[in-house]
Amino acid sequence: MKKLLPAGLAIAIALFISYLMMIGSGFFPTPEIKDVLVLAIVILFLSASKKAFYFVLFPIVFAYAFYTPTGLTFGPPSYHYVASVFATDLSETKEFLSQIPVLHYAAGFGILFGIVFFYWLVRSYKLHFYRNKTFVTFALVAVFFASAPFKFLQESYDSTVKVKNELDRLNNMTIETAWGKSELTADSKYDDYILVIGESARKDYHNAYGYPAPNTPFMSNAKGTLIDGLTAGGTNTIASLKLMLTKPNSKEWEGNYTLGMVDLIKSAGVHTYWLSNQGYLGTFDTPVSSLANKSDEKVFLKSGDSFSQNISDFELLPLFEKTISQAHQGKRFIVVHLYGSHPISCDRLTDYAKIYDDEKIEKKYHNVNCYVSSIKKTDEVLEKLYQALQKNQQQNQRSFSMIYFADHGLAHQITDDNIVIHNSSGKSKLHLNIPLFKISSDDTERKEYKVFKSGLNFTDGIGKWMGIRNPKLNENADLFSNQADPDDYGLKEVINKIEGEPDPAVVIPLKNKMYGQVSSLSITY
């Protein structure tokens, strides 16, 4: 009887730890009772001996506790998140950690504190659950019918191995192109082709696509072609661009580095450049920087061993102007990779004014204000790039065509007193919706097409835009036609698996009438 109360308390703590571990893994936002019970039973059994506790149970619990703040905020570990860890410098790590609520950190510490207190109870009162036949019978039946708690460890291991193998392949071998010889057709009519890659820019937060804030004056009014319907290849930079900047395996949704976009363009005799405000890791080249390295000339404003670099996209402009002003015979292809609206978006505005005065909006909307303002900054960068191209055309008689798209969108985390816009895979049906805009030196009118375009056809579409002919290209893939792509390669199925309703863009209600009052908190797009 003296052990009854401590035993009951130990079981309660084991259940509490089990519940926190389950939700903290990201796989089980609302775990089933049977799954919590099974994990609690494992905890009770592994407390039987010191060796089992210290060498088996505690390392497992520690792994869960360590990941719990991230799991509660962003979801389960995956190949894409592990890849992002390899591709993140200290500055981005600080931004990432600052997005996690304090309560989520407390949950991780709660797991560690709970397991220590639990083991103290077990040792102090000599609780030997494994000697109770009723408990053992119940435990065996429960474990037999449910093994879901171990999905976290298995997925984490599989994802880590997959990323390591890919990075080893990218760093330790030369990936030969499989394009063969390409040729330029009569449709290749421009001297300079510019591809601007935006960052974390969700389509429905652009005024050009209906958002009420005036944050895209250039894209909303310039004579060119605006496509409403492009979907990203993934929900983060690596996941998306390794599919969009190669001709991917559309069934497996895997990038094909032997059919990279840069290699395709080089195979047609076009000189290639890559100007980037994204990070670069020397020893562990990310898939994106590995693709960029195929360019004839490349410049990264950030290196992987830099400690604290929040470089403005405006600093790409002098580099771009210098590049296009150089004398060159023949065609050029220039990638400009922006840092755009990368979370935390407020850090993107150290040299740029916000659209709305923070004093005139509720505090919960401050992050939204930063996000829509960062998109306005990107729009201004696009305008300045266009003006530089116009100036170069006048001076050097070089025609041009420029495309802008974003690598992926973002999702919301909304509470009563705060709205966070971050990269949370599997939590937003609108995460993959991205902008696509083209403007050329000979455009005389504005065209807008609301039509589906798959990001998995992006490299084919770039080939079409540049007038490149290659047997491996899909000649029917046209990024700027008014015809929808015939196949979404399973995208609808992926989106349908996302729980919950679509999370439309949040509109900021203004308190000051001189700014105009917005009656609705969100728009359905």
- CA distance linking residue 479 with residue 461, whole number of Å: 5
Tell me the C-alpha distance between 271 and 330, whole Å. Answer: 8
What is the pLDDT at residue 76? Answer: 87
Q: What pLDDT, on the 0 to 100 scale, is given for residue 496? A: 81
Q: What is the dihedral of CA 263, 264, 269, 271, to 10 degrees?
A: -50
pLDDT of residue 398: 97
CA distance 505 to 148: 35
Contact 211, 504 (CB under 8 A): no
Q: For 112, what's the count of Cα atoms within 13 Å in the CB-facing half-sphere?
A: 12
Task: Check residue 511 and give its pLDDT.
Answer: 65
- Count CB-CB contacts under 10 A for residue 377: 23
Cβ 225 vs Cβ 438: under 8 Å: yes
What is the C-alpha to C-alpha distance for residues 438 and 434, in angstroms, rounded to an integer? 14
End-to-end CA distance of the chain: 63
Give the pLDDT score at 80: 60
Q: What is the pLDDT of residue 524?
A: 31
pLDDT under 70 in the chain at which residues?
1, 79-93, 133-134, 137, 139-151, 153-154, 163, 165-174, 280-286, 303-308, 425-426, 511-525
CA distance 405 to 231: 10
Q: At what angle do helices 33-46 and 133-145 cross, to 10 degrees?
A: 130
Q: Under 8 Å CB-to-CB from 127, ≥6 apart: which residues?
A: 3, 6, 7, 10, 47, 121
Q: How far is CA 323 from CA 16, 116, 327, 333, 392, in A?
A: 60, 60, 9, 11, 10
Q: What is the pLDDT of residue 279?
A: 74
Quick check: bond before 344 cis, omega within 30?
yes
Predicted pLDDT at 508: 95
Predicted confidence at residue 283, as pLDDT, reads: 42
**Regarding beta strands 433-440 and 192-198, do their DSSP bridges make them parallel or antiparallel, or are they unpaired?**
unpaired
* Residue 166 pLDDT: 64
**DSSP string over 39-87:** HHHHHHHHTSSHHHIIIIIHHHHHHHHHHHHHHHHH-S--HHHHHHHHT
Asked if residue 223 lies in contact with residue 445, where contact means CB atoms within 8 angstroms, the answer is yes
8 A C-beta contact, residue 37 and residue 27 = no
C-alpha separations of 175 from 93, 163, 263, 298 in Å: 30, 17, 11, 18
